[in-house]
Chains A and B, each alone.
Chain A
Amino acid sequence: MAILARAGADALRAHLAGLPALPPHTRLRGPEIGLVMLRGRMGGDGAPFNLSEATATRCTVEMEGRMGHATVLGRDLAQAELAAAIDAALQSPALRGPLLDHVIEPLAEAQAEARDRTARRAEATRVQFFTMATMR
Chain B
Amino acid sequence: MYVSVKGGETAIGHAHAWLAEARRGDPALPELTVAQIEEQLALAVDRVMAEGACADRGLAALALKQARGDSTEAAFLLRAYRTTLPRFGYTLPVDTGAMAIQRRISSTYKDLPGGQVLGPTFDYTHRLLDFALAAEGLDPPPPAEAEQGAQRMPQVTEILAQEGLMAPDAPSNAEPPDLTREPLAFPANRALRLQAMARGDEGFLLSLGYSTQRGYGNAHPFVGEIRMGEVSVEIEPPELGFAIDIGDMVVTECQMVNQFVGNAEAPPQFTRGYGLVVGQNERKAMAMALVDRALRAPELGEEATAPAQSPEFVLYHCDNVESTGFVEHLKLPHYVDFQSELEKIRAIRARWFAERTE
Contact = CB atoms under 8 A, between A and B. Distances in A.
A126 B102 contact: no
Given A43-B272, A71-B88, A126-B115, A48 B245 contact: no
Contacts of B276: 40, 44, 51
A62 B95 CA distance: 33
A38 interface: yes
Contacts of B253: 44
Nearest to B240: A69
Nearest to B272: A43
Given A53-B82, A71-B237, A123 B191 contact: no
B254 to A, nearest CB: 10
B351 interface: no
Given A39-B90, A44-B96, A119 B119 contact: no
B297 interface: no
Contacts of A127: 115-118
A39 B146 CA distance: 33
B198 A51 contact: yes
Given A52-B199, A124-B144, A47 B170 contact: yes
Contacts of B233: 36, 38, 54, 73
Contact of B246 (A53, A56, A115): A56
B72 interface: no
B54 A122 contact: no
A16 interface: no
Given A38-B91, A73-B246, A122 B103 contact: yes
Contacts of B237: 58, 69, 71
B280 interface: no
Contact of A52 (B50, B87, B110, B158): B50
B172 interface: yes
A49 B171 contact: no
B247 A121 contact: no
Contacts of B88: 34-36, 56, 58, 71
Contacts of A117: 145
A58 B172 CA distance: 29
A133 interface: no
Contacts of B143: 121, 124
A116 interface: yes
Given A33-B85, A50-B179, A44 B157 contact: yes
Interface in B144-162: 144-150, 155, 157-158
Given A37-B180, A72-B247, A46 B169 contact: yes
Contacts of A121: 102, 143-146
A101 interface: no
A5 B232 CA distance: 10
Contacts of A135: none
Given A71-B246, A120-B146, A36 B235 contact: yes
A131 B110 CA distance: 8
Contacts of B249: 38, 54, 73
Contact of A71 (B102, B157, B235): B235
| Most central of A34, A43, A122 by chain B CB within 10 Å | A43
A44 B155 CA distance: 8
B174 A48 contact: yes
B246 A35 contact: no
Nearest to A116: B149
A32 B247 contact: no
Interface in A52-66: 52-56, 58, 60
Contacts of B239: 60, 69
A44 B146 contact: no
Nearest to A127: B116
Contacts of B190: 42, 47, 49
B172 A47 contact: yes
Given A32-B86, A125-B117, 11 more contacts: A5-B245, A5-B246, A38-B233, A38-B278, A44-B274, A50-B195, A51-B198, A52-B54, A75-B59, A118-B149, A126-B146
27 contacts: A2-B245, A6-B247, A36-B246, A38-B233, A39-B90, A39-B93, A40-B276, A41-B94, A44-B276, A46-B171, A47-B173, A48-B174, A49-B190, A51-B276, A53-B54, A53-B55, A55-B56, A73-B233, A75-B56, A118-B149, A121-B143, A122-B101, A122-B104, A124-B145, A125-B118, A125-B144, A126-B116
Q: Identify the 9 closest CB pairs spanning chains A and B, nearest first.
A: A46-B169, A119-B149, A73-B247, A2-B245, A123-B146, A54-B55, A43-B169, A49-B191, A47-B172
